[in-house]
Amino acid sequence: MLQDYYDYIKVFHIASVITWMAMLFYLPRLFVYHAEQYNNVAFRNVVELQEKRLYYAIGYPAMIAVLISGSLITLAVPGIMKSGGWIHAKFTLVLLLLVYHFCCGFYRKKLLESCYKSGRFFRIFNEIPTLFMLIIVYLVVLKPF
């Protein structure tokens, strides 16, 4: 039954991944600005609202859509879990992206209280999802093992 809808589920999954990744790329960039302009209250008020909307209105729904559509793809393709180590590595990286997502929520709340991390920290933190995304795409397309 799910196999009949596989292509539609895959389209939805890819669109959801793009949306979630956009949030994971942009929210830490807002943290950089937030940390570097922490004493500018007017700016901080604007960026805090952007962070909240990005995290809750875009990030959470996209993350849930990724998890649901990814689960449906896994169910629709019998034997995918036996197709090689690449799928297990991919799932591990997706799990780490989930941890990263919730770390973003943690840092967002901490930045509401004080600026205890530097802009430099958030610039480095901002590179993590890019690395994970590149590795995931490599694994999915080339299935190296």
Q: Is 90 annotated as a binding residue?
A: yes
Please state, in angstroms and as integers, the Cα–Cα distance from residue 5 to each residue in 47, 49, 100, 113, following that order: 40, 38, 30, 46
Closest CA to 29 of 60, 51, 57, 61: 51
Cα 128 to Cα 113: distance, rounded to the nearest angstrom: 24
Q: Look up residue 44 and give its two tokens.
A: 């901080």
Q: Is 88 annotated as a binding residue?
A: no
Whether 19 contacts 62, CB under 8 Å: yes
Binding residues, as ranges, are: 13, 90
Binding residues for heme, as ranges, are: 13, 90
